[in-house]
C-alpha cells in the first residue's frame, strides 16, 4: 500500500501550526467534538476506542490498509502537494487579509476570486470522495455516519471555516441553503480539476456531495459568525506570515507545517472509521 495512516500521522507534533489551528477551531466553533491529538495510528484507535484490545487495533490496521482507505488518503494527500500547495496557502492568506488593511473594498465572493473558489470546490469534492470511499452503506447512511464521527466534524468545520467562510465571507453572510451548490456552480473547471487530481471518481464524489451539501452549508452558517475570532487566532500563530503572503516561494518557505492540513484530517478520518469498524466487527 502506498500511504498508511500511521506514516501520515507521524509527521505531526503537538506544537505544529496545523495541530494548533485545528485545536483552536475546536475551541471557537460551536458543535466541535473536542480535539484529541495523536500522531500514531495505535494512539488514534485508542483515542476513539479507549479499551481497544490488541486484536481490535490489528483489525483496525488491516481495515485502514484496504484499497478504499488508501484511495481516500491518496486524494487528501494530493491536495497538500504540488501546485495545490500554493492554492492551499491562499486560504491562510485570506484569513490574514482580514487584518491586512488595504481598505477592505474587495468583496469576498466566489466570483471575485475564481482560483480560490476552484480550490475550495475541489476540496469539497475531496471530502465527498473520502466519505464515499470510507464509510459503508447507502448515501444517507454515509452522510449520517460522517456527521456523527469526531474526525468528520473536524473536517467539516475546517472546510467551512478556513476554505469557505473566511475567504468568501460575503457569500457566507448572504448565506441560506444552497451555498455549496453555488460554490460548485461558480467555476466550471472544478469537476475536471478534481478528476485529474483523483484519477477518476468525480461522478461518485459529485453524487455524494449533493447529499453532504446541506450539513456543510450548516457548518458554514455557524463558522461565519465567528470569522473574526478565527482569523485573530490564526494571525496569533503566524506573526511573520503576512510578510510572505504574496510570495509563492515565501509561501513554501514558510514551512510544510503551514500547509498539510488535509493530509492530517484525512489520516484522522481513516483512523476513526477503521477503529469504529473494527469494534463493530
DSSP 2-14: ---HHHHHTT--T
Whose CA is closest to 70, among 123, 22, 1?
Answer: 1
Query: How far is 202 from 130, CA to CA, in rounded Å?
Result: 12
The per-residue pLDDT for range 222-281, each reduced to its tens digit, is 999 998 898 888 777 664 444 444 443 333 333 334 557 899 999 999 999 999 999 997
pLDDT at 95: 54
What pLDDT digit, counting tens, does each position of 175-193 carry?
Answer: 767 999 999 999 889 999 9
Q: Does pTM surpass 0.85?
A: yes
Q: What's the pLDDT at 249? A: 34
Which DSSP category does 157 fall into?
H
The DSSP call for residue 278 is H
pLDDT digits (tens, 9 = 90+) for 50-73: 999 999 999 999 999 999 999 999
**Alpha carbon distance 45, 136 (integer Å):** 19
Region 195-200: mean pLDDT is 83
Domain boundaries, the chain: 71-270
Amino acid at each position: 500500500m502506498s500511504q498508511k495512516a500511521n506514516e501520515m500521522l507521524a509527521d505531526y507534533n503537538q506544537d505544529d501550526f496545523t495541530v494548533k489551528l485545528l485545536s483552536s477551531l475546536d475551541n471557537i466553533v460551536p458543535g466541535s467534538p473536542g480535539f484529541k491529538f495523536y500522531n500514531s495510528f495505535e494512539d488514534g484507535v485508542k483515542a476513539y476506542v479507549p479499551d481497544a484490545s490488541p486484536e481490535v487495533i490489528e483489525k483496525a490496521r488491516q481495515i485502514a490498509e484496504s484499497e478504499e482507505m488508501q484511495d481516500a488518503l491518496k486524494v487528501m494527500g494530493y491536495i497538500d502537494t504540488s501546485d495545490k500547495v500554493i492554492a492551499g496557502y491562499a486560504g491562510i492568506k485570506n484569513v490574514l487579509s482580514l487584518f491586512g488593511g488595504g481598505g477592505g473594498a474587495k468583496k469576498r465572493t466566489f466570483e471575485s476570486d475564481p482560483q480560490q473558489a476552484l480550490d475550495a470546490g475541489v476540496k469539497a469534492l475531496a471530502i465527498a470522495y473520502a466519505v464515499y470511499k470510507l464509510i459503508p452503506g447507502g448515501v444517507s447512511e454515509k452522510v449520517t455516519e460522517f456527521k456523527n464521527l469526531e474526525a468528520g466534524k473536524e473536517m467539516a468545520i475546517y472546510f467551512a471555516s478556513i476554505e469557505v467562510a473566511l475567504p468568501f465571507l460575503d457569500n457566507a453572510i448572504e448565506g441560506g441553503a444552497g451555498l455549496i451548490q453555488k460554490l460548485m456552480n461558480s467555476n466550471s473547471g472544478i469537476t475536471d480539476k478534481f478528476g485529474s487530481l483523483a484519477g477518476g471518481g468525480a461522478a461518485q464524489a459529485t453524487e455524494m456531495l449533493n447529499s453532504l451539501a446541506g450539513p456543510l452549508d450548516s457548518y458554514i452558517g455557524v463558522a461565519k459568525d465567528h470569522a473574526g475570532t478565527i482569523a485573530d487566532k490564526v494571525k496569533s500563530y503566524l506573526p511573520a506570515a503576512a510578510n510572505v503572503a504574496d510570495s509563492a516561494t515565501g509561501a513554501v518557505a514558510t514551512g510544510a507545517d503551514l500547509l498539510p492540513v488535509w493530509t492530517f484530517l484525512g489520516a484522522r478520518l481513516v483512523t476513526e472509521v477503521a477503529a469504529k469498524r473494527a469494534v463493530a466487527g
